Amino acid sequence: MTAIAAFTAVTLVACGSDAAETPEKPTGPVTIKVWAWYPEFQGVVDLFNKTHSDIKIEWTNAGTGQDQYTKLQTALKAGKGAPDVAMLELQEIPTFQLTKHLVDLGKYGANDVKGDYVDWAWKQVSTGDQVYAIPVDAGPMAMMYRDDIFSKYGLTVPKTWDEYKAQAEKLKTASAGKSFITDFGANDGGFMTGLMWQAGAQPYSYDIANPTNIGVNVNSAEAKKVIEYWEGMVNGGLADSTAFHTTDFYNGLNTEKYATYLAAGWGPGYIQANAAKSSGKWKVAPLPQWTAGENKQGDWGGSSFAVTDQAKYPDIAAKVAMEIFGAKNTEAWKIGIDKAFLFPTATPVLESADFKNKEYEFFGGQKVNEVFVPAYNAIGPFSWSPFNSYNFNQLTTNLNQAIEKKTSWTAALDTAQENVKTYATQQGFQVQ
């Protein structure tokens, strides 16, 4: 299959009018620099290098999330030092696209693999025939729960957020306040946005095709519904508010402090690494719904491979972006799924019997993808702003301060709305 993809890429380049963008190929293998922080990525890189004689990937882990973006922004601004291919979370694509640092992969055959991805995921990385990144993994959300704590206190698996709250109250009384139903990490903008996404909130209306116009609706009724719910949970002592991804948080998962964790598809990988003692005690159920019987979902995280404008051979870099975790690269996905707990965006991998029927030791042998795959398929469309760092910063800063100072959470959301609007106007956007 690599041969076919290579052939397509080459022919497309040959047919394209952008001859200037593709300098002559050197005789030896081309080195492509990749920045990524996927767990267990070394194996995937080795695999790629082993199966390609003409391309050599040079991989660097330049930090997770914002750390990497900071370095990448600086290198792109400086005009050199950026990698050819960079891992970008889906919500970051408009930011990097607006500053015109991403290569349109559509020119290099990316539209040929469009069919391998569900609609919402592809829309996150493209506009029309322009493709800015190849999605790799996604973060469909589900409720991970501690089976041992549930049976110890006689809790039932909640199907709606109302039931969830009822179980939280039951747990608080039964455990004498020692256990919380969950931890609400207000330091993670992606997590909160995922929950708002599920409730139908659309904080931004933005299309890369029309980059100067943006609609800002951070404090929509749907977003407020979610925030008010969690304000009640935290202030009522039902949910904890320790920051996510901290020692205290993982310790809470490891001990019996938290009975559930509202996780994304990639979440178990991090828990396995940081709260190993709880392995085998978890089970997965769908995310509770606002209305009984519905199947509304949101996404938290997930990332893609983009080619930067500093790539010397954009066609070869595009090939790397498409193939390294490509839909047909089953060997790479074996590593990604078995070792790194990645949740693939490519439908051929998702729908493979291996993935669907995989029994996870961490979940006591449960076939958790029976929950995650339907959740993934039910995620609705969503658009991000081209200044996501600021967006997440406003969400987290204002909500964290509201938690810290015990002030109104919805007022914090209103402040975020005002600040984002001011920022967008200052940046020259037409704000609706």
Partner 1 sequence: MTQVQTRSAAVAPAAAGPTQRRPFFGRAREAATGWLFVLPFAVLLVAFLLLPMAYAFKISLYRSTLIEGEVFAWFDNYQQAIDDPLVREGVLRVLIFGLIQTPVMIGLALLAALLIDAATSRFSRVFRLAAFVPYAVPVVIGTLMWGFLYSKSIGPLAWTGIDFVGSDTVLASLGNIVTWQWAGYNMIVLYAALQGVPKEIYESAKIDGAGQVQIALRIKTPMISSALVLATLFTIMGTLQFFTEPLILQPLNPGAITQHYTPNVYAYNQAFSFQQYNYSAAISFLLGAVVFVGSYIFLFATRKRSALR
Task: Kindly list the residues in this chain that would bind partner 1 in the complex (CB under 8 A).
Answer: 66, 70, 73-74, 77, 98-99, 186-187, 211-212, 242-243, 245-248, 251-252, 255, 257, 386-387, 389-390, 393, 396-397, 399-405, 423, 426-429
Is the CB of 156 or the CB of 425 nearer to partner 1? 425
DSSP 23: P
Is the CB of 144 or the CB of 403 nearer to partner 1? 403
Q: State the minimum distance, in angstroms, from the CB of residue 298 to partner 1.
A: 22
Q: State the minimum distance, in angstroms, from the CB of residue 170 to partner 1.
A: 24
Q: State the minimum distance, in angstroms, from the CB of residue 361 to partner 1.
A: 26
> Contact, 204 vs 384, CB < 8 A?
yes
Is the CB of 216 or the CB of 335 nearer to partner 1? 216
Tell me which residue of 422, 395, 92, 383 sits closest to 218, measured CA to CA: 395
Q: How many CA within 13 A on the CB side of residue 432?
A: 10
> Contact, 278 vs 173, CB < 8 A?
no
> Contact, 315 vs 108, CB < 8 A?
yes
Q: What's the CA gap between 111 and 177, in Å, rounded?
A: 54
Q: What's the CA gap between 253 and 278, in Å, rounded?
A: 7
Is the CB of 252 or the CB of 301 nearer to partner 1? 252
Is the CB of 99 or the CB of 173 nearer to partner 1? 99
Q: What's the CA gap between 361 and 370, in Å, rounded?
A: 15
Is the CB of 76 or the CB of 143 nearer to partner 1? 76
Q: State the minimum distance, in angstroms, from the CB of residue 175 to partner 1.
A: 16
Q: State the minimum distance, in angstroms, from the CB of residue 242 to partner 1.
A: 8
Task: Please provide the DSSP assignment of 21-40 as one string.
Answer: GSPPPPSSPEEEEEE---TT
Q: State the minimum distance, in angstroms, from the CB of residue 164 to partner 1.
A: 24
Q: Show Cβ contacts of residue 393 under 8 Å, excluding neighbours closer than 6 positions.
A: 189
